[in-house]
Amino acid sequence: MKDRLQRFLDLEQLTPARLADILGIQRSGLSHILSGRNKPGFDLIQKLLTKFPSLNADWLITGKGKVYKESSPSHDITSSTTLFGNIEKTDEEATSKKPALSTDNNEIDSSINASQLCENSINESINRSDQEKRSLRKIIMIYSDNSFVEYHPGKE
């Protein structure tokens, strides 16, 4: 199967890294498969067939048949068929389905300001209580030659 994968890469003019990116798999995993170290798993085969729908699964798995699927005969499309069918909308129907969005900007601004004030006051009280409890114990200065000096304020 590694030979068929290599042939597919050649036909699609892809590098193993690019194919791994397209399939969303690790590059090393695909490299191990192509080198023969690992065998491809179901996930790899499934991703290959999903990303490349023209690839023939029989050829990929067993080596039988052609690399790519035969193109299926096109269905007869009559000229009366349109992409959207017979959809007719009046202006009233189109405008009646628009959502009504009415918000008061002042209410939004006041709620934002209130939440910001609350958050600021909480942060200030936390900072004050932290500063009151904290005191400087030690300062360490490290020099470029990896030597250091420790200072202990209040202990001289």
Domains of the chain, by residue range, sit at: 2-62
Taking CA atoms, 74 is separated from 36, 53, 57, 71, in Å, by: 40, 17, 21, 9
What mean pLDDT do residues 11-19 have?
91
pTM > 0.75: yes or no = no
pLDDT of residue 69: 85
**Longest pairwise C-alpha distance within the chain:** 99
Say what the pLDDT of residue 73 is.
47
- Whose tokens are 């080198």? That residue is 35
Using pLDDT thresholds of 50, 70 and 90, give the confidence band for residue 152: confident
Fold of the 2-62 domain: 434 Repressor (Amino-terminal Domain) (1.10.260)
> What is the average pLDDT value for the chain, to the nearest integer?
77
Q: What pLDDT, on the 0 to 100 scale, is given for residue 134? A: 72
- Could you tell me the pLDDT band of residue 132, with boundaries at 50, 70 and 90? low
